[in-house]
Structure 1
Amino acid sequence: MENYLLNSFKTSLLNENIESNINYQHKLLSNKDEKIVSTLRRELEDCDEFIISVAFITQSGVTLILEQLRKLKEKGIKGKILTGDYLTFTEPKALKKLVEFENIDVRLASKEKFHAKGYFFRKNNIWTMIVGSSNLTQTALTTNFEWNLKVNSLNDGKITKSILNNFFDIFNNFEKLSLEKLEAYEKQYSFYKEYRKKVEDIEKHIVPNKEIKPNLMQVQALKNLESLRNYAKRGLLISATGTGKTYLSAFDVKNAKAEKVLFIAHRKTILSKAKETFETIIKDKKMKIYGEDSENSPYIFAMIQTLSKKEHLEKFPKDYFDYIIVDEVHHGGAKSYQTLINYFTPKFMLGMTATPERGDNFDIYELFNHNIAYEIRLYDALREDLLCPFHYFGISDIEIDGELISEKTAIKKLTAESRINHILEKSKFYGYSGEKLHALIFVSKVDEAIELAEKMRLKGIKCEALTGDDSEAKREKTISDFENGKIEYIITVDIFNEGVDIPCINQIILLRPTESSIVYIQQLGRGLRKYKDKEYVVVLDFIGNYEKNFLIPVAVSQNNSYDKDYMKRFIMNGTDMIPKESSIMFEEIVKERIFDNINKSNFSTKKNIEKDFILLEKQLGRIPMLYDFFEHNMIEPSIILKYKKTYDEVLRIMKPNFQFKNISSVENNYLRYISSFLTPAKRVHEIEILDFILKNGKANFEEIEIYLKEKYNLSEQEENIKNAFKHLAKEIFISLSTVKEFFPLIEKYDDFYVPCKDFEKSYRENIYFKELVDDLIKYNLAYANKNYKQEGKETILKYKEYTKQEAFWYHNLDFNNGYQVSGYTTFEEEKKVILFITLDDSSSFTSYDNQFLDDKRLTWFSKNQRYLEKNGKLTIEGKIANNFYTLEVFIKKKLGENFYYLGKVEKVLSAKDILNKDKKNLVEYELLLKTEIENSLYQYLIKN
């Protein structure tokens, strides 16, 4: 261990090129490449003792590490937390939560200008110490520009003793925080909070109200709208719930200098708030809600249910309004909307929606002539601070009578007392932001909502069920009581998916299976509106044995590609994959449940592809190509190509009545070769060479070398380039059964490679064939640059996913010609061995377990009936033991997955002949990797 630390110190302090264990190197934590909270969570999850010493603690900061604190409590690991009352910034609510943990000694440095910030974690005899600028607050641990230095030291190290002595000198001056002292501090905190609020109120009266101006995203949207209004009569605004689309419409109406305006919505509450918004932005126009006032007004706000009726509609000439806004326009297929939209002929009509993707197959894009004025999705809105951050917790639902909650669970079990207690316990534990709880619970069935509410009320919980059967009056009263704090929980099915604005919601509880990522986002969006005293929203997702629980990472990340690697990485480390202060946390058992479903799910189905195909066709107003799916973050084109061998075949199934041009059997052969063997590209060489030759008629090594250097800054690429030429010309893998049937795409001519004649002729003469080839090239280059971007001389990237075929391909190795592909394959000429290791190998013939000893060392076993020596000579296994070969390691957790590339083995530490349980000989090795495994991948591989 001392050597690990010493080498890491050398890397950190002397020369960055000195190899050492990355976990022990000094590191700057700044929220730039990774949120600081991700490091804190990892350290908490793996420590034997912890100390947190920070000037300020907020409830939002504690919420970020609540799951880790829960695990530490279960394991009985003790910690100490010291904070101060300086400036009365530390929140009493946060302290109350912390003192609930009997394993944590919480102390408050009172009447001290305590401003230190440090986090210390002991694992065995090593202390990891993080000292710098970050308090235990939401912004400090996720978005602020912070500087914290992470260092490691043994127990007896001078820096450890100095820091710990300094800490305990202060810590021991104060007693453990008692409830009495906490109550006294809470009174002091409330006094100063009330004082600051009064000062703010006075300042508001002194300083006149500032003019409301568009935010950055709205500025761009307004530019787009102004441009669109110059040539189009209709435009569609796609804007995530809570991003201010009503304000945006008001700004554009003002910019357009519209004299007569109609605003349409399907709920009165929406109309009232829209009218207030317009009156704030446009102060010189009279406005009224239709039917409430007989006085003529140029700006009218009307219910669609009323104005679409003939007797009301025909009160207005068709061209009466200059500008019409239709809110929640995804309902545009309904008869009432169609009647109104087809009747009026304004100068411009703006449709607004957060979710244009509909389950009723109505084409909202065509209704607005495919004119998308602007699009603000959830991810972008979070990044631009337009929405309130959320902290998501994926929680395991409980078993009742030995049965885990699923889609088939009966109402009786869904509303069982043990489940209600489980829900309320988690709701209380994870808490909320603000003074009062305002929780919205989504369930699957009306009966479930009603029964759940009745049983919760019997426990003294202030709650109410709301369903589609309830009157508008009951709905308005319930929402009013909810906003005023008379009700803590509203339990509903789907009626709050849209069209309801309750900004005070600070906790969302999902008690239903995820059947649709669209509905999921609608429900999540209910809590994301900004609100006074609401710093964040807690999202509690109770995850049972649901068939489609893999939709959770799809929905929350808003990555609809169904890329299994992305989905698993999001489950492992979603916090760093979503913007700003929001965070993601799944319980371990939930992670495994979702991983299993991801692994066994087949996304390459007609139903799955057709859903995105229809949606994309509506958006574009034309038949989508593969690159369109990639560009619009739809289902991954490589998944589409697993359904059929070429996209031409897919198109003929999706559009059976469309007259596509003919593709000959030879052209189909070329398309299948590119689609199956070159797609998806995990390096750019083959695709760039193919594109270069098609554009220029020929290419040689020197031209491609210069081209790749200029475009990608790739160096030392000779072997990769020559190998890529061989792939396209089929000069390699020639005896591989799956590639024998394909024709080469290029051929050698003197010192150049040129297109094969038939391929070049089809590309030049068949426009449809050319379009399909160009689409494959465009998609593959985009895919490689996004997911497998290369730098310098590397051509195969550590911690990325590869198939066995790709493992050989991107190492420039010809693996057919009789080579054994399972387990490990030896290349004598190159002195290289490719290892394929499965950790959870439950095959019946497996009689040993590969496992990690740490993030750099692992055990590995040879095939059966192998020895280190035979007849006095080293075998291949013996040569491996003596480090004769370079070992390249690919590993996967379970059968059915692709392999992750871990890089080279630095050294075989040990090897010995052993007997397995069947008394067969094999060799057991301990391998030392050249570099430590990326932490999120390592945690995934070793868990369970």
Structure 2
Amino acid sequence: MENILINSIKTSLIDREIESSDRYQHKLISNREEKIISLLRRELEECEEFIISVAFITMSGVTMILEQLRELDKRGVKGKILTGDYLNFTQPKALKKLLEFKNIELKILSTEKFHAKGYFFKKGNIWSMMIGSSNLTQTALTTNFEWNLMINSLESGRIIKDTLENFYEVFNGLENLTIEKIIEYENVYEFNREYRERRKEKELKEEKIKPNMMQIQALENLRVLRKYEKRGLLISATGTGKTYLSAFDVQNCNPKRVLFIAHRKTILEKAKETFEKILKEREIIIYNNDENREADIVFAMIQTLGKEENFRKFPRDYFDYIVIDEVHHSGAKTYQNLINYFIPKFLLGMTATPERGDNFDIYKLFDNNIAYEIRLYDALKESLLCPFHYFGVSDIEINGEIISEKTHINKLVVSERVEHILEKSRFYGYSGDKLHGLIFVSRVEEAIILSEKFKERGVRCEALKGDDSDEKREKTIKKLEDGEIEYIITVDIFNEGVDIPCINQVILLRPTQSSIVYIQQLGRGLRKYKDKEYLVILDFIGNYEKNFLIPIAISQNNSFDKDYMKRFLVNGTNIIPGESSIIFEEIVKERIFDNINKNNFSTKKNIEKDFIFLEKQLGRIPMLSDFFERNMIDPSVILKYKKTYDEVLRILKPKLELEPLNQKENNYLTFLSSFFTPAKRVHEMLILKEALINKDVNIEIIEKILENEYSLKNQKESVENGVKHLLKEIFVSLSTAKEFYPILERYGDKIVLAKDFFESYSKNRYFKDLIDDLIKYNLAYSGKNYKQVGEKSILKYKEYSKQEAFWYLNLDFNNGYQVSGYTVFEEARKVILFITVDNDLDMTQYDNVFYDRRKFVWFSKNKRCLKRDGKLTAEGKIAENYYTLEAFLKRKTGENFYYIGEIETVLEGKDTINYKGNSVVEYLLLLKDEIENDLYQYVVKNSSSK
């Protein structure tokens, strides 16, 4: 270990080119490449002792590490936390929460201005310490520009000894914090908070309401659109200020008369309040059917003005500007009648969810004019919404049965489950002083019974049903806002059309059937509110068939890319933008992993859903690149349904008159679609693109393009390898490749496009469109997901099939699908290892064990030994470090492999007998670089690692 640390110090302080363990190098830790909270969680999960010494602690900061603190408490791992009361910034609520953990010693320094920030984690005889600028607060651990230095040291090292001595000198001189002392501090804190809040309210009153950055861009788009078009659609996530945006646009274009339509009274009233703040000089009224006085701006319920006897009271051109809120409902007859009657100069439709299940073409209604689009991901990135902390927690087992869609209502409301829900609710908490919670359940009966059971336990709540009157809804919402009740329990009635900004906890007790509905329900708590720093989301996840929709919904990535979904489960915090965080319990991860692996997303139903939506959005037949560009189901998933997109189109649009493809055109298209798609490097598609332009291939020119446009250097070998693939000089004996014609042809030193290919590309417009689309998609896919720099044309920690492993390492191999555990390339002096880590040892041949992220045990094939007849075998040469070893790793049979890089050295190789009685060689291998943590967590953590 000493040598590892010394080499890491050399890399960190002497020369960055010196090779050493990435794990132990000094590092600058900020929120740039990775959120600090992600690293903090990892260190807490792996430590045997921890110390946190920070000036400020807030409940938001504590909430983000609650899951780790709970696990540490269960394991009996001791921790010490020191904070201060400087400026009365540390929150008493956070201190009270920390006091709940029996394994934590908590102290507060009051006698001096304490401003130190340090996090210390012990594992064995190593201390990792992060010292710098980050307090234990939400912003410091996610988005602030922070600088922290991470240093690793043996416990005998001077830096760690001096730092810990300094810490203990202060810490040991203080008394443990008690609830009485926290209450005493709380009185001072509250006095200062009230003063700060009065100041803030005064500033807000004086501040002029102005559009935010995204609204500014949307307003400019609307200004341009209104010059040429009469209709526009605004797609804006719930809580991002679309009503304010419409008011700003009305202010900008200054129409004589405006009509604003909504379908809920509460929406209408709040929208009117918004317009009154922006358009103070205009006369604004709410229309009802017993009055028809003139006004500048009329707000009306669709249920009222949608009646023919009411809207016909107005001339058709009476309103210059019409706004329709929640416009996805506009397929209904009342909306259609009103829209078809009025002839405004401009019609603006607003919605958060244009993807409706009723097949109504909302895009066609607005002439495919999307004025602006802001989804949840962008809204979080721009801090337009309240950050959330999501906890995917396991629902309980009742008599050995995990909660599922089929669970009987009686089991959904048993006391054991009620206690489980309330315990989790109390533990994970909420932002602010009062709980304002919203609970979504599966059935009306469940809502009613749960409400009764909650009340029996002293929890103030109400159940709301779909057939409850608007008056009852509004009264119940008012009770929640005023703190008279803590929860509203409902089924689906709050998916849209309700605005309750105070909601600070959302509990999901239902299976996920639709990612749209899921986001609608989650979004109920995302509006910003004066005392709400964050939203807590508790998702109780049972054995639900579609729980794989959870990562799709939260990440807003609709590609159905299995690798992306798995990585999101492991570290969604780092993927989701802004101050939000995401964590799933291990048992929940396993349930969702299994569902992701076993589900086939390449179905007609799945593809057709996105196809229909895109067709409406674009106003034309979508191509593969459209799906990719608009974050729909990935083309690679589509092409697992049928071999070519031509086949897909003929199934989805049987009445569409498509040009026929001859046998050779279909052959070329299938070859490119199956062997080259999705492209995990740019080389082959770039070669094809340039060949289509120039009719021949110049390797030097391709090299220059790769260097100048893609920052890839020394690519001659990879370019030549790519050319061989298109020439079909590689994989010639591979059975799946035999049927295909080469795309390129070689004539002496000259390489040109195949004559038939070029002729079809030149004459058949449909074939040309399909080929251009494949090139466009593949270049975009590799650029986004497999972007390489430097010299290698294969990326560490990315997913590859066995065939692709050889392909992208530029190794000529003709039987990529039938490879077993490893393949030796004698001429290149390389061995490619394919390692499967599987929890079920009865299903595997060998017991591959990972000691850490670099060192692991690996076994040869059966009936192998180091020497035979006194000579080294290939296995013996591996033990002697004769070959370069390239390693690929996967979790289970049926998944693809992840490239984990070169083996730095074979530490040991010995003949042995495995547990099945076969003679094998057992190796101890050391990777050149540590496996990326997210990948390690997914592939290895739940295996037989030591």
- Same fold, judged at TM 0.5 (above): yes
Counterpart Cα distance in 2 of 1:364 and 1:846: 53
Which residue number in structure 2 is paired with residue 56 of structure 1?
56
The CA deviation string for residues 360-402 of structure 1, in whole angstroms up to 9 with x for no partner, is 1111111111100000100001111110000000001100111
Q: How many angstroms does 1:841 deviate by?
A: 7.0
Q: Residues 436-471 of structure 1, C-alpha deviation per residue, up to 9 Å, x if partnerless?
A: 000100111111111111111111110001111111
- Is 1:414 aligned with 2:412? yes
Equivalent residue number for residue 102 of structure 1: 102
State whether residues 802 and 817 of structure 2, in contact with CA within 8 Å, keep that contact through their aligned partners in structure 1.
Answer: no
Structure 1 residue 219 corresponds to structure 2 residue 193: no
Aligned match for 1:908, one of 906, 909, 925? 906
Over 3 Å counting, the alpha-carbon distance change for 1:199 and 1:835 in structure 2 is: closer
Instruction: Compute the displacement of 1:699 (Å).
Output: 1.6
2:529 equivalent among 528, 531, 535: 531
1:742: which partner in 2?
A: 740
CA deviation map 1:866-889 (0-9, x unaligned): 111111111111111111111110
Worse overlay, 313-322 or 813-822: 813-822
Residue of structure 2 in register with 1:296 after alignment? 294
SS in 2 for 1:642: coil
Question: CA separation in 2, counterparts of 1:211 and 1:628?
Answer: 41
Of 684, 687, 690, which aligns to 2:685?
687
- Equivalent runs, 1:496-895 vs 2, <5 Å: 496-816=494-814, 821-840=819-838, 842=840, 846-895=844-893
What amino acid sits opposite 2:502 in the alignment?
Answer: C
Change (3 A) 1:180 1:690: same
> What SS does the aligned partner of 2:639 have?
helix
For residues 180-233 of structure 1, the C-alpha deviation after alignment (integer angstroms, 9 at most, x for no partner) is: 1111011111122123334445666xxx73321111100110111011111111
Question: Which residue does 1:306 correspond to in 2?
Answer: 304
Say whether the 8 Å CA contact 2:734–2:816 is kept in structure 1: no
What secondary structure sits across from 1:932 in the alignment? coil
**1:261 aligned residue (258, 261, 274):** 258
Give the counterpart letter for 1:716 in structure 2.
N
| d(CA) in 1 for partners of 2:671, 2:371 | 40
The CA distance in 1 between the partners of 2:539 and 2:913, in whole Å, is 48
CA contact (8 A) 1:819 1:825 kept: no
Contact 2:802 2:816 in 1 (8 A): no
Matched residue SS, 2:266 = helix
* Distance in 1, Cα, partners of 2:385 & 2:660: 50
| 697-706 or 138-147, which deviates more | 697-706
**Aligned counterparts, 1:114-263, within 5 A:** 114-201=114-201, 209-263=206-260
What SS is found at the alignment partner of 2:259? strand
Residues 413, 841 of structure 1: alpha-carbon distance in 2 compared, 3 angstrom cutoff: closer
- How far apart are 1:572 and its partner, in Å? 0.8
Of the structure 1 ranges 406-415 and 836-845, higher mean CA displacement relative to structure 2 is found in 836-845
Task: Please state whether the residue corresponding to 2:349 is helix, strand or coil.
Answer: strand
**Separation (CA, whole Å) in 1 of partners of 2:212 and 2:55:** 33
**Greater CA drift, 217-226 or 695-704:** 695-704
Change (3 A) 1:384 1:681: same
Structure 2: how far apart are the matches of 1:611 and 1:307? Answer: 33
Amino acid at match of 1:384: E
Q: Indicate the SS of the match to 2:130.
A: strand
- Name which of structure 1's ranges 458-467 and 750-759 shifts more when overlaid on structure 2: 750-759
CA distance in 2, matches of 1:361, 1:200: 47
RMSD (Å) for aligned C-alpha atoms: 1.3
Percent identical among aligned pairs is 69
Aligned-residue offset at 1:623: 0.4
Question: Residues 47-86 of structure 1: matches in 2 within 5 Å?
Answer: 47-86=47-86
The letter of the residue matching 2:39 is: T
Structure 1 residues 817 and 112: alpha-carbon distance in aligned structure 2, compared to 1, 3 A threshold: closer
Q: Secondary structure at the match of 1:43?
A: helix
For 2:232, give the aligned amino acid.
G
Q: For the Cα contact (< 8 Å) 2:838–2:844, is it kept in 1?
A: no
2:484 is aligned with 1:463: no
CA distance in 2, matches of 1:248, 1:713: 41
Structure 2 residues not aligned, in runs of 5+ = none
SS at structure 1 position matched to 2:640? helix
Question: 1:255–1:200: structure 2 CA closer, same or farther, 3 Å change rule?
Answer: closer
Aligned mates of 1:140, 1:201 — CA distance in 2: 24
The code of the aligned residue for 1:113 comes to K
**C-alpha separation in 1, matches of 2:144 and 2:458:** 41
- Native 8 Å contact 2:803 2:817 kept in 1: no
Q: Which amino acid aligns with 1:633?
A: N
Shift in alpha-carbon separation, 1:691–1:87, aligned structure 2, 3 A: same
Per the alignment, residue 336 of structure 1 pairs with: 334
Q: Kindly state the Cα deviation for residue 636 of structure 1 after the two structures are TM-superposed.
A: 0.6
Q: Pick from 353, 356, 361: which aligns with 2:354? A: 356
Aligned-pair CA distance for 1:747:
0.5
Q: Deviations over 1:18-57 (max 9, x none)?
A: 1111111101111111111111101000000000000110
Q: Give a deviation string over 1:639-681, Cα, whole Å, max 9, x none.
A: 1000000000000011011111101111000000000000000
Using a 3 Å threshold, how does the CA distance of structure 1 residues 634 and 109 change in structure 2: closer, same or farther? same
**Contact 1:700-1:751 within 8 A present in 2 as well:** no
Cα offset for 1:298?
2.0
Amino acid across the alignment from 1:240: A
For 1:493, the aligned partner's letter is: V
User: 1:8 maps to which residue?
Assistant: 8
Cα offset, 1:820, TM superposition: 6.0
- Alpha carbons 1:52, 1:82 under 8 Å: kept: yes
Please name the residue that 2:432 is paired with. 434
- Note if 1:492 corresponds to 2:486: no
SS of 1:482's equivalent in the other structure is helix
TM-score by length of 1: 0.98
- Structure 1 residues 289, 458: CA separation in 2 closer, same or farther (over 3 Å shift)? same
In 1, the alpha carbon distance for the partners of 2:495 and 2:383 equals 22
Asked if 2 retains the 8 angstrom alpha-carbon contact of 1:58 and 1:137, the reply is yes
Q: CA deviation at 1:265?
A: 0.2
Higher mean C-alpha displacement, 912-921 vs 410-419: 912-921
Read off the aligned partner of 2:182 and give its amino acid letter. L
Deviation per CA, 1:886-939: give whole Å up to 9, x if none.
Answer: 111011010111000011111111111111234321111111111111111112
1:301-325 Cα offsets, whole Å, 9 max, x none, are 0000111111101101111100000
Q: Distance in 2 between matches of 1:587 and 1:863?
A: 36
Give secondary structure in 2 for the equivalent of 1:420. helix
Partners of 2:16 and 2:257 lie apart in 1 by 67
Query: TM-score, structure 2 length as denominator?
Result: 0.98
What is the CA-CA distance between 1:844 and the residue it aligns to? Answer: 5.9
Question: Structure 1: where are the runs of 5+ without partners?
Answer: none
Structure 1 counterpart of 2:391, which letter?
F
Which of 260, 281, 284 aligns to 1:284? It is 281
Partners of 1:85 and 1:111 within 8 A in 2: no
Bigger CA drift: 750-759 or 855-864? 750-759
Contact 1:860 1:926 in 2 (8 A): yes
Cα offsets for 1:722-780 (capped at 9, x unmatched): 11111001111111100000000011134331111111110000000000000000000
Structure 1 residues 820 and 318 mapped into 2: Cα distance closer, same or farther (>3 Å)? closer
Secondary structure of 2:878's counterpart equals: helix
Other-structure match for 2:319: 321
